[in-house]
Structure 1
Amino acid sequence: MDPPRTKSWSIHTRPDITSKYQILTRVGSGAYADVYKAVRRADSLTVALKEIHDQQSAFREIEALQTLQHSPNVVVLYEYFWSEDEDAVLVLEYLPTDLASVIRGAKRDGLSAGEVKRWIVQVLCGVDACHRNSIVHRDLKPANLLISADGVLKLADFGQARILLETGFVAGNDHPRMLEQYSPNPAAFQPPELIPEAEVVCEGHKNQEQGALGKEVYGGQLDDLRAKDSLDIDRESSIHDGDASCLATCTTSDVEDLLKASYSYEVEEGGNDGYGPLTSCVGTRWFRAPELLYGSTKYGPEIDLWSLGCILAELFSLKPIFPGTSDIDQLSRIFNVLGNISEEVWPGCSKLPDYQIISFGKVEHPIGLEACLPNRSPDEILLVKKLLTFDPSSRATAMELLHDKYLNEEPLPVPISELRVPTTNSAQDEDSSSEWGNYKDMDSDSDSEDFGSVDVTNTNAGFSIRFS
């Protein structure tokens, strides 16, 4: 998809914005958004102005942030500007750094076990808030986990998020409902301190009659979503993903172009029911769930749980666990650690759109997560294992992990006030394609030259590709 066409005007020339905000400097830029640091003239509050060039992304981000506006571990949306002939501009709380910067700094200064646990608790609370509201973030990664100067971590960048169930938005409206102006009291939004012995809950979930969503209840909700094909909200929304797959069926005439160029290509036309199912081309590759890499368009919050596992692994090892250079290389790296997928370990995997198209030689001796997390405790490794499982239905929920014994035993998570917060954002030091910072080159597909032998076999549906 080509980047959206650049507008002929500038945010600096929009009087509706400049009359309320003094724009200081641009702090990030990408193909679909630019972010500026600004000051609200009324009270000198520092904010971030996110100018989004893609209408679909703007729609999703506004709708998700409105739904999550009282969640302490989600970035605050103060207001937004949107008219027919102009890009949307979101006014967000300004958060100076991110978890990617924490990880980078830890390579030099280290992280205590209590610090690691506090960061994990905050991430889990943010993800739990999303999933309790039927929101799938679809792009969780350290660079999208922003951090305030006093150590509060908040999920950000909801441009790829999807709301799987109706949450009050009236279908057919051109734009999300107007947001009431509010300035939350930061003191009221502090995540609670962790309490030992299974008392770990996030703000807003303390009523024990409601209780934490266990595997049975949470799984039942996911089953209900799957029974509706996870598409009901798409049928009601004016914004659709389209029928796209990262690794999808091609015809034999496409072989030459495929081998010359990239392993990411679009699905064949046809078979669309007119409602626009979910797309598998979401998320940053290093954190993308296997079902997405195999072209699934029927998924739920479980894809965020895989991403969460990759994030926790990076917190423990201080390096990405699956830094693939292409979708195929990404799968190869996952298999080298966890072994091959099969119906035995992942019931139903053979029904994935691209399962019959892309195959790999059997990994006889996968190295296992233990080799990727050297010098980490069995409880830490088990925490990651509960998320990095092939079968999506087997992945632990965020709330389940908040009750995990690892987070409830000594050393306990440190208070937020004791966290060491970096003074700069990762985007200031890295070659970034994201408005909030990114990892260099993780979104670029490599050519077939990056791999060894490639066998292409004609099939009734087109062809299959086997990598050895």
Structure 2
Amino acid sequence: MMSRMEYSQPQSKSWSIHSRREITSKYEILERVGSGAYSDVYKARRRSDSITVALKEVHDYQAAFREIEALQTLHNCPNIVLLHEYFWSDEEDAVLVLEYLPTDLGAVIKAGKKEWEDGISVGEVKRWMVQILQGVDASHRNCVVHRDLKPSNLLISDDGVLKIADFGQARILLAPGFTADDGHIQSHEQPQSLQETVAQPAEVVPVLGGQLVHEHKGLNVEECDAEPDELRAKYTPSDIDKDSVSHDGAASCLATCATSDIEDPFQYSHSYEAEDDADDGNGSLTSCVGTRWFRAPELLYGSTNYGLEIDLWSVGCIFSELLTLEPLFPGSSDIDQLGKIFSVLGNISEEVWPGCGELPDYKIISFGKVEKPIGLESLMRNRSSDEILLVKKLLCFDPVNRATAMELLHDNYLNEEPLPVPLSDLRIPPKQWNQDEDLSVESNDYKDFDSDSDSDFGTSTITTCENGFSIRFS
């Protein structure tokens, strides 16, 4: 059997999905709709009922395992992408069979900016927001932190249903199969209905399902297990009882055909992409996750002691972009990203963020004081005070102060006129696919931000200090 270390390295693409009889006997492969270093995505038709699906061939063991593990936990949750089944064997890549969702929120934003004369109406914006919050709430109630929320990972069906996808970087902050309820941990058995309705592949990854409910304010890796590594060690593909396992799994933007990153989720470049997510063997978290423009400040400062709140910061950035049709903090490097955040919101300090001095890189990277931050109002000039306030409730430096998804679902803004439009009134832009498209960059709109250079910052002073160096910008 191939070791996990071997699985986690880039694999040859010579293993064609077309040669796998267990797949082609059940699915007619129509076309390849996306390709990258670590995944290939195909549009296919299920032979039994002619349903269109997406087949995602994942060339990385850990990414496939995490996607399957996360969506096993989130099976049938609202606004979470659905996996029908998956194929797994020792000598082949995992192939996830997912619902086919043809477009994404990034395409909606682009159409609102460039194609629709009236942009995106307030009622449409609210309906998109409600669906995003419902998906995030479902994920967080089950202790799943997504770690890479962005418009291109929010997929949309032809009838306007938005679903969160691309769980390749997700982590479950409690071991699957247990519920944290009022301080008591209880076992949670796998729903029988799932075992009955999901088809069994020849070999499956060991996924232990269950609902994981936890109040998520302040939840972090020190308060609950970051990843069920002991369970991983206990159950392996060779010794699992296949007949007792239900194998609903994860979806990703690739698998469900959104224009996003189709490369190694642990080896990304410093552009509009996610970054290396190496484990230390103990299931601890890493700060190098998520796409930079949507990355929370604690991650930019190297924190590994974070929780579900990093997703809430990302949601705030997404909401701002949905309202203004422009990215809020389009940093060209991590340092540039912090600089753009501080120029709008001001500097971090113990006064606004108690404990920020303990962040790993706080004493290594320092900025000159921003005397007059421009504020969100200056970037959202044409939006109402209620809309700006909604974004402010998410873009708090102190993670504990960020509004939860459920709190925002009850926010007055989303429950007053104009109300969210019905799904049938949402405008859905088509997605044009290039079969040989390399999705390593978010879209052409973002190619100007590929560089990791800090040259845009102008004059800087680097000073050696006890913990390494300090970068101060004038």
Q: What whole-Å deviation, never above 9, does each CA across 1:305-347 have from its counterpart, x for those lacking one?
A: 0000000000000010011111111111111110111111111
For 2:207, the equivalent position in structure 1 comes to none
Q: For 1:273 and 1:33, how far apart are their aligned partners in 2? A: 24
Equivalent of residue 231 in structure 1, options 226, 229, 232: 226
Read off the aligned partner of 1:355 and give its amino acid letter: Y
Equivalent of residue 288 in structure 2, options 278, 281, 289: 281
Shift, 1:5, TM fit: 2.9
SS in 2 for 1:87: strand
Are the aligned partners of 1:101 and 1:426 in contact in 2 as well (CA < 8 Å)? no
For 1:308, the equivalent position in structure 2 comes to 315
Are the aligned partners of 1:262 and 1:446 in contact in 2 as well (CA < 8 Å)? yes
Is residue 182 from structure 1 mapped to residue 177 from structure 2 by the alignment? no
Q: What whole-Å deviation, never above 9, does each CA across 1:362-414 have from its counterpart, x for those lacking one?
A: 11111100111111011100000000110000000000000000001001011
Read off the aligned partner of 2:460 and give its amino acid letter: V
For 2:20, the equivalent position in structure 1 comes to 14
Are the aligned partners of 2:218 and 2:307 in contact in 1 as well (CA < 8 Å)? no
Is residue 376 from structure 1 mapped to residue 383 from structure 2 by the alignment? yes
Are the aligned partners of 1:289 and 1:303 in contact in 2 as well (CA < 8 Å)? yes
Read off the aligned partner of 2:320 and give its amino acid letter: A
Matches within 5 A, 1:37-436: 37-107=43-113, 108-109=115-116, 110-168=119-177, 180=195, 182=197, 218=215, 221-223=216-218, 225=220, 227-228=222-223, 231=226, 233-234=228-229, 236-238=231-233, 274-424=281-431, 432-433=439-440
For 1:463, the equivalent position in structure 2 comes to 469
For 1:242, the equivalent position in structure 2 comes to none
Go from structure 1 to structure 2 and tell me whether the alpha carbon gap of 1:438 and 1:52 turns closer, same or farther (over 3 Å shift): farther
Q: Unpaired runs of 5+ in structure 2?
A: 179-189, 200-212, 235-268
Go from structure 1 to structure 2 and tell me whether the alpha carbon gap of 1:409 and 1:282 turns closer, same or farther (over 3 Å shift): same
Aligned-residue CA RMSD (Å)? 3.2
Are the aligned partners of 1:349 and 1:355 in contact in 2 as well (CA < 8 Å)? yes
Go from structure 1 to structure 2 and tell me whether the alpha carbon gap of 1:234 and 1:317 turns closer, same or farther (over 3 Å shift): farther
For 1:195, the equivalent position in structure 2 comes to none
Query: How many residue pairs align between the two structures?
Result: 403
Go from structure 1 to structure 2 and tell me whether the alpha carbon gap of 1:26 and 1:410 turns closer, same or farther (over 3 Å shift): same
Shift, 1:112, TM fit: 1.2
SS in 1 for 2:366: strand
Q: For 2:455 and 2:103, how far apart are their aligned partners in 1? A: 37
Go from structure 1 to structure 2 and tell me whether the alpha carbon gap of 1:278 and 1:351 turns closer, same or farther (over 3 Å shift): same
Read off the aligned partner of 2:456 and give its amino acid letter: D
Are the aligned partners of 1:38 and 1:47 in contact in 2 as well (CA < 8 Å)? yes
Q: For 2:142 and 2:355, how far apart are their aligned partners in 1? A: 27
Go from structure 1 to structure 2 and tell me whether the alpha carbon gap of 1:44 and 1:437 turns closer, same or farther (over 3 Å shift): farther
TM-score (norm 1): 0.79
Are the aligned partners of 2:172 and 2:226 in contact in 1 as well (CA < 8 Å)? no
TM-score (norm 2): 0.78
Go from structure 1 to structure 2 and tell me whether the alpha carbon gap of 1:122 and 1:310 turns closer, same or farther (over 3 Å shift): same
Go from structure 1 to structure 2 and tell me whether the alpha carbon gap of 1:363 and 1:430 turns closer, same or farther (over 3 Å shift): farther
Q: For 2:20 and 2:53, how far apart are their aligned partners in 1? A: 17
* Identity percentage of aligned residues: 66
Q: For 2:347 and 2:449, how far apart are their aligned partners in 1? A: 23
For 1:25, the equivalent position in structure 2 comes to 31
